[in-house]
Each structure stands twice: as C-alpha cells, then as structure tokens.
Structure 1
Amino acid sequence: MKAHLMFRDKDFNLLQPLPPNEHYLVHDLDLDTLLGAMAGGDEFLLKVSRVALLNGLTNPTEIAYRQSVLDDCSSHSEIVRQIYEIAVKALFDKHKMFWFTRQDSPTGMMAQSPQVIGMFMGYLKQLRKIVDEHGETFSSEGWTTLFRVLKEELSDDYFSVVDDNLNQLKFRDGTLISAKLTFGNTGMDYVLRDSRNTKQSLKERLGVGGRKSYSFDINSRDEAGMNALNVIMSKGMNSAANSLTQAADHLTNFFAMLRTELAFFVAALNLKEILSAKNEPTCNAVAKPWSPPLLNFIGLYDVCLSLRSQTSVIGNDANADDNSLVVITGANSGGKSTFLRSVGVALVMMRSGMFVPAKSFTASVCEGLFTHFVREEDSSMTSGKLDEELARMSEVVDAITPKCIVLLNESFSATNEREGSEIAYQVIRALIDSDVRTIVVTHLSELALRFYQNDASSALFLQAGRQGTAGRNFKLTPGEPLSTSYGEDVYNRIGGW
C-alpha cells in the first residue's frame, strides 16, 4: 500500500539530497522562521518540511495535485491530525517491541512477528473506521485514492483471515513440522504444518488401539537432544518466519510512509492556523508552465516577517507577466528587500504544493531558485567583500541551469558605482540570455538606467514608495528607475549631526 498523498504515482523520499544552494536559500529568505512555525517544535515535522520545501516540484500538475490534498486537509483538519497520530502511535509501539528484544532466529521471529502484525491490525482497524465514517467527505484525488485502497484491502474478510492466522500461530496445539528423509536418515524439505487437527484421541493417549503416529520425549537435561530439536524447529519455521517478517516490514513501511507524507500536511496546517489567527490572507498559487513568463500577484507579503511581528504586514501587488527581468530601486528602508524575500518565499511555497501568502498569486514554475544577497563584513571573511560576492556568484553560475529564477539583492555594491554596475550588467545579461529570469534590488542607478534604456519592453521596473521627506509606505509601484535611495531620510531619522 502507498499513501498517494504527496505524489500520484510514487512515494515521497525523505532521504533525497537537498539542493546545493540550500544554505543560501534558508539564510537569504529567512526560511528557518517559516520552518519553525510549520514544525511547532516537532523535529520530525521540521525535517519533512525542510526536504519538501527545498526540493520543490517542477511540474504544475504535481503542484495542483498536492494543493488539492492540502485543501482537503484544511477542510478536515481534526480527522487528518487523528490519522497522523495513528501512524505515529503505531510506529512508536513497534519501536517499543524491538527496544526490549529483537529476535533474529526463525523461532524468535515466529514469536515476535505475529505480535507486531497483531499490533498493526489494531491501528489498521482504526483507519478503516475513519474511512467508513468520513471517507465520502474527502474529494481530492490523493485522499480518495488512499481511502479506496484502504477500503478494498482492509475488508472484514481480511481482518477475519489475519486474526485466524495469528491465533493459529500461537501454536496452542503444539508445532507440527513435516520432513523427508534422505541418505543417512538426515532430514530435508522441512515444512511447517497446520497443527489444529492433530490432537490425539483419548484412546491414543491411553495407548489403546492403533496409532496414527508415534512420539518420544527428550529429557530436559539432554542438552544435545534439545539443540538438535531447536535445529529442526528452526528449519521447519524458516520459510514461515521469513514470510511473517516480510509482512511485518510491509506494514511498518506503510505506516512510516503514511506518517512521513502526512507530516508535511500537518506542518502546513500548523502554519495556516497561525496565519489565520492573524487574519493574514493565503491562497492557492496558480502554477503555470515556464513559458510564457508569468508572475503576477495581489497582496503578496513576507510571511516570515509576519511570523516575527505582532501585527499584520503590508502586502504588494505586481504584474511581471512576459518579463524576464524585474528591477527594483528607490528609498532606503522602503521595503525593497522585504518585497524580494516575499517573492522568493512564495515561489518556494508554491513549488512545495502549499498555499502562498497573498490574495492571489500566479507564476511560471521554475526548475530551481537561487539567491545572491548582500553580506555584511565579518571576521569569517578571508578576503574583501567584492571577492566574496564574486565567489558566491560563481557558485550560483556553476549550479544554475535554464528555466531557473535568481534573486539579486544589492549584489556587487561593495565596489564603486561604475565598476559594480558593469559587473552586475554583464552577469544579469548572461543570465537572461541563458533563459534565467532575474529579480534585482539595486542602489546602482547606472545599472538600472542601462536596463531601462535597453530592455524596457521585456522588463518591469518598480520603485519603493516614499511619503514626504522621511516616511515610508512600503508599497512598490511601477516606474522608471530612481537615481537616489533617499539615504538622507534615514540620516535625518536617526538624528543627523
């Protein structure tokens, strides 16, 4: 059985490697704040969420499939959490059984595996009850497929047969093993048999009349005889023990995968409940193929900033459809970097199949997302800031492929205006020519003006808003690049000289 929740036709791989730029994505987009809210202190939810978010989907159909599953989860939050707890408890009980003892011999496995299977049967019956009571209220393909499989495979006849076999494996009537004799009267072809109808009659037990079988006793102090009997028992039970162990492993794998895939949706529910309590809007992104370029949204906000704030944060609207480049200029502390992060986080969330922090959001699905944000100088740097920026950009260029998006935040600002503008222009031009879409926040007016003069028809230019001489409304609006960042506003706000 498969869970069918994260993918239509395959399992979610929790052990898949993270992308090579994982560290930069998490740092630049403040994803630790997002992941912390999703996990709610649960290490397993954190691990699953990290893998799902950073290894985003690239197929709009797969994104829509996962979104529909999450919609069902949102409509049936209590039931979904109940199913998740069943999977968690089942695996915990299995762990407890093996914590005290683990049997590797055939006779030991014959004793332990039925206990594991019997324990799992109790939890499967709980799942079947949920399916019977609530299955018809779910509508997504993922949930309806899972419930249909559970209903078909976990029938009353199935439970009856399993319970009967588990009772038989208690060997209340003893253990019956058949064998053939070969040369030297050595045994071969040992087979475990049904012993329920092999009880001796009263006459046989009294030694009256004919016998169907003969028996002998081994003295409890006969160590060699007991060892020989254990060898025979192991040979007779080996095949059955392997089958039972495989059955127990199969059930373990099902509950493990159910827990893993549900963990992502439980984490997403945790986040949605936090945002709903703050009256922050969320929506399902409309994921589209890479071509033509699409990126438009209404009310997009930085969800990580919201999670760290007591109040709601200001959202922005933009329409960058048919544009391979977005250039953002304007006032210092005007919300440019926050806007850039909000776009990046929304793309990450969309590609994972989650809702996004906006009233509406439509975007082309990229193959990968990369960031290059300005860094403050610190003692860990072994060279100048420009060298460090160039080294990080080299890592981006080495890893990036066509159909990717890169977010640049004040890149190459460590040198003078002319040199920084020239380096940035050549890098961005090469990225665009390689079918890599780019969103740039910059204070380099020469760079912005050069793109405005040469690429105005295929680029969107946004300005960070300014109110009066010092105020900021944190709204970005379309407009030609500004030649100033109004740094004197910040200077005056902190007191000047």
Structure 2
Amino acid sequence: MRTRLLYRDRDVRALPALPENADDLIRDLDLDALVAVMADDARHRDVVRRIMLVGADDVDDIVHRQDVLRDCIATPDAVAEIHGIAQDALDRERRTFLGILSKASPARQMYHSVGVLKLYTAALADLRDCCIRHEGQFRSAGLRSLCSRMATEFDESYVKSVEGYLDSLRFPKGESISARLGTANHGTDYHLRRNRRPPVRDYVPLLEHSSLTFEIAPRDLAGAEALGELCNHGNEAVAEILAAAAEHVRGFFSALTIELTFHLGCVRLCRALDSAGAPVSFPTARPATARGFSFIQLVDPTLAVRRGDRPVGNDVDGFDGDVVFVTGANQGGKTTFLRSVGLAQVMLRAGMFVAGDDYEAPAHSGVFTHFRRPADATMRHGGFDDELERMSAVVDLIRPGALVLCNESFSTTNFREGAAIGAAVVRALRDGGVTVVYVTHMFDLVDAFAADPGDTLFLRAERRPDGARTFRVCPEPASETSHAEDVFRRIFGVAP
C-alpha cells in the first residue's frame, strides 16, 4: 500500500524531524505567515511547516511533487475528497478505539486489531470508489498511480474477502485452539483454529466419553487463569499478525493524510497569492552542484499575504556565480529581497510554486540564515559574541551546495573589524561550494570583492534623486556615500 505523492519511491509514514536551524528560518524568513495561510489548525500547520523546511534533495522528486501539486490546483475538490476520507478514517479510529495497553492480553489485542481493520477496510472501499470517480481528472504520475492501485488492489471481491476473514475472527461461541505436549509435558505449538461446525458423527465420541470435556467452577480463579493462559498462547501469533496489519493500513492512511495536507495547503496559499495579485509560477530546479540563479519579478510572498496586494518584484538575469552583495539605503527593500530569495529556495525544495513570474535555481542542499538580532536583554553576552556563535552553528550544519543568507552580519562591531571578518567568512563559504547572499552597509566588505569580482554579483536598492525608494534591487556597485542627507532633509524640510 503506497501513496508516493511526495517522493517517487517512498512514502512519508511519519512527520519528518525539523532541521536544526528551523527556528532561525521560521523567524528570519517570516515563514509562519505562509503557514498560517496554508493551514487553519495546529496539527495541519505542523505538517506543512515540517515538509516545507525539510524539502527534497533530489530534483526528480521536486518535479514529481510539482506535477502532483498542479493536479491539486486544477482539481481541488477531488483531492479534498480523497483527503477527507483518509483523515476521517484516522479520526474515527481515535474516537472509537482508545488504544490498548502494551501489556494487554493477546485476546484483547486481537479484538482491538480486528475492529481497527474493519474500520479501515470500509474506508478503503470508500477511497477506492472515490479514486475511480476522479482518476480521469488527474495528469500526474503520483495521483494516477494512486488511483490505479486503489482500483486494482482493492476491488470489491478483495474487500469482501477481507471482511469475511475479519468476521471469522469473532468467536461468539468460544475459540478452537490446538496444541501438543512438548518437553516435560509442557504445551507447545499452539494454533488458533477456525470454528467449523463438525458433522453429527463427530459428536458421538464426545457423548461416549464425557470426560473429554470439563467445566470450571465459578469460583475457581486458578482454573480460569490457566484457561486464559491457554487462550493467550493460542491467540498470540494471530494477534501479532493482526496488529502488524492494522499498523500497516494505519500507516497508509497516515501517509496519505500527511501528503495531501501539504498539497492542499499549497492550494490555499496559491489562492491567497492570486487574490493579492502576486505572480505564481513553478520553478525550474537544477542540481545542488549548479551555480547561480535567475528570476523575473520575484516577490516576497509573506508581504503579499499580509498586505493583500502585489509587492514590488525584482529581476536577476542569468547570474552564474556564488556570492551576491546587496547594498543601498535603509528602507529600500534589501531585507525584503533577501527574504524573497530565501523563501523561493525553501518553496522550490518543497516542490511548490514560487511567488514570481519565473525562477530557476539549484535545489540547494540546505537554506541557512544569519540575520541581525536585537541586543540580548539578559546581557549574558554582547551582540558580536552572539553573531560569532550563531555563525559557528551555521558552519557546523552546512554542506557543499547550501545557500546562506546574511542580513547585516557582523555589524555589531566596528565597520573595519566587521568587514574583515565578513570577508573571511564569505570567502571560506564560497570556497566550500556554498552560495552566499549578503545584505550589508559595510562598504569595505563589498569593496574587498569589487577589485576582483569574478563570480560575485553586486546589487543595490534603488533610490531616486529626491530620496524616494522604489523598493527595487538593481545591478549596481556599492556606493561609499551614506544617505544621511536623506535624514537631514526629512527633519529640516530641505528640498533636494
């Protein structure tokens, strides 16, 4: 029983663990603004958040997810119906069966598993019928394969045979158990047998030898315990098989629910971005070893969903290097640009669309952020110590092919020292096969790379002569002149 809606060759049977840098990514990229749009309850938000942050490393898996998501966007009602059947089956098990203790008897375990399997068998029949109705609407390999498997592997005759087997495991008139005597006359080879009504002639020996039957007195606790022990021996093997079968079917419904929760969350986000007028397109993913990126009208999706309108987009055409510096005036859109690049990479790795007209980039081996933080209120360490500590944690986690986003890193010390440390860190990351996008006001840092630009791209937040910000980031070298003049004019009302 396979779902295969996130990966081509495996299912998501359990929620993946969050990466170690998840808290920084969520905070710096404002990721929960998107997650809140994608899911309206805590459980579904957790699913969406984890799958987005873990992503997929294989380009073929990313393309596989994109194809499934295209189907979900085109046929949301059909996909929501499949998801509803799976989710309802899991919820009904939680409501109906409160679970059993790990030390419960095999008989109770068997009874519990039979009930669970009967519930899921009925849900499988509903799911099969739903898939048969909607299979013709799907185009992706993932959803078409799911529908095909449901139709062929769980046809009516198979479901009826399963129901028959489960009904035969109810023993209203008692159980038939066989065994033989082993070493020291201890019982061995216990087997639970089907209860079949024997022909009349089989009753004759029982009538002639009534000693072959016995009864336990109501107060014979020891006898009842001994008989219960015999039953447990007989039920043990069957109970284990049924428990494994129940867990397997439960895992199928759990995987289907997790995977479709993510895809339907993406559908909701797509609708929200479309309502805000933000561009949406499926990106082209390249291997992590590739360099550079290019995009057209890339926007920050968190800004779009918060404001409800289209933010200013940015273009980068055919950059094939490893280092990007972004400079310019305050409030010019630098951090927003940085966030749009980071979120586009997270969404690409997750197999989602991006908020842009076009986006092509490597599927980086990971996304890491190093943003400026407020001063430590506890005063246990200084701001610069904190920056060094957080950068050390990033370096410990990154692998070749990763993407690191720096926002005013090492700005808590003087400009000369900060520039020297920043340049050393950027060179080390670049030489290690890591792509760096660095927003900074430190001219000396950018100037250290300007002499031999090589694979470095220099961008600057656009500022008009009158000081107005366009919130666009354009290919321009850094300027050594600050924009303190803007502050002077604004305060003293001096015209440009």
Give the C-alpha shift of residue 284 in structure 1: 0.9
- Distance (whole Å) between structure 1 residues aligned to residue 170 and residue 425 of structure 2: 72
Report the equivalent of 1:297: 295
* One-letter identity of the residue aligned with 1:89: D
Q: Secondary structure at the match of 1:312?
A: coil
Give the C-alpha shift of residue 466 in structure 1: 1.7
Compared CA separation, residues 390 and 107, structure 1 to 2 (3 A): closer
Report the equivalent of 2:486: 489
Aligned residues with identical type, % of pairs = 38
- Distance (whole Å) between structure 2 residues aligned to residue 212 and residue 9 of structure 1: 61
Compared CA separation, residues 155 and 411, structure 1 to 2 (3 A): same
- Distance (whole Å) between structure 2 residues aligned to residue 331 and residue 197 of structure 1: 90
RMSD of aligned alpha carbons: 2.8
- Distance (whole Å) between structure 2 residues aligned to residue 184 and residue 419 of structure 1: 84
Report the equivalent of 2:115: 115
Structure 2, unpaired ranges of 5+: none
Q: Secondary structure at the match of 1:111?
A: helix
Q: Secondary structure at the match of 1:355?
A: coil
Following superposition of structure 1 onto structure 2, how do residues 122-271 of structure 1 map, counting pairs within 5 Å?
A: 122-172=122-172, 174-181=174-181, 187-198=187-198, 215-271=213-269
Report the equivalent of 2:476: 479
Structure 1, unpaired ranges of 5+: none
Compared CA separation, residues 371 and 222, structure 1 to 2 (3 A): closer
Report the equivalent of 1:57: 56
- Distance (whole Å) between structure 1 residues aligned to residue 111 and residue 414 of structure 2: 76
Compared CA separation, residues 377 and 223, structure 1 to 2 (3 A): closer
Q: Secondary structure at the match of 1:480?
A: coil
- Distance (whole Å) between structure 1 residues aligned to residue 265 and residue 211 of structure 2: 63
> 12-21 vs 328-337, which deviates more?
12-21
Compared CA separation, residues 144 and 304, structure 1 to 2 (3 A): same
Give the C-alpha shift of residue 121 in structure 1: 1.0
Q: Secondary structure at the match of 1:473?
A: strand
Report the equivalent of 2:387: 389
> Are residues 1:354 and 2:352 paired?
yes
- Distance (whole Å) between structure 2 residues aligned to residue 447 and residue 87 of structure 1: 54
Q: Secondary structure at the match of 1:318?
A: strand
> 295-304 vs 415-424, which deviates more?
415-424
Deviations 1:25-79 (A, max 9, x none): 2221111222222222x22222222222222322211211111111111122122
Report the equivalent of 1:67: 66
Q: Is the 8 A contact 1:470 1:490 kept in 2?
A: no
Report the equivalent of 2:275: 277
Give the C-alpha shift of residue 347 in structure 1: 0.6
Report the equivalent of 2:39: 39
- Distance (whole Å) between structure 2 residues aligned to residue 303 and residue 374 of structure 1: 21
* One-letter identity of the residue aligned with 2:475: P
> 6-15 vs 159-168, which deviates more?
6-15
Q: Secondary structure at the match of 1:115?
A: helix
> 357-366 vs 165-174, which deviates more?
165-174
Q: Is the 8 A contact 1:381 1:388 kept in 2?
A: no
Compared CA separation, residues 112 and 405, structure 1 to 2 (3 A): closer
- Distance (whole Å) between structure 2 residues aligned to residue 183 and residue 477 of structure 1: 86
TM-score (norm 1): 0.90
Deviations 1:92-123 (A, max 9, x none): 22222332765821222232222111111111
* One-letter identity of the residue aligned with 1:68: D
* One-letter identity of the residue aligned with 2:485: E
TM-score (norm 2): 0.91
* Number of corresponding residues: 493
Compared CA separation, residues 365 and 381, structure 1 to 2 (3 A): farther
Give the C-alpha shift of residue 354 in structure 1: 1.1
Following superposition of structure 1 onto structure 2, how do residues 298-377 of structure 1 map, counting pairs within 5 Å?
A: 298-377=296-375
Q: Is the 8 A contact 2:277 2:309 kept in 1?
A: no
Compared CA separation, residues 313 and 175, structure 1 to 2 (3 A): same
Q: Is the 8 A contact 2:13 2:251 kept in 1?
A: no
- Distance (whole Å) between structure 2 residues aligned to residue 179 and residue 446 of structure 1: 86
Report the equivalent of 1:380: 378
- Distance (whole Å) between structure 2 residues aligned to residue 391 and residue 238 of structure 1: 55
* One-letter identity of the residue aligned with 2:472: K
- Distance (whole Å) between structure 2 residues aligned to residue 213 and residue 248 of structure 1: 41
> Are residues 1:48 and 2:47 paired?
yes
Give the C-alpha shift of residue 212 in structure 1: 12
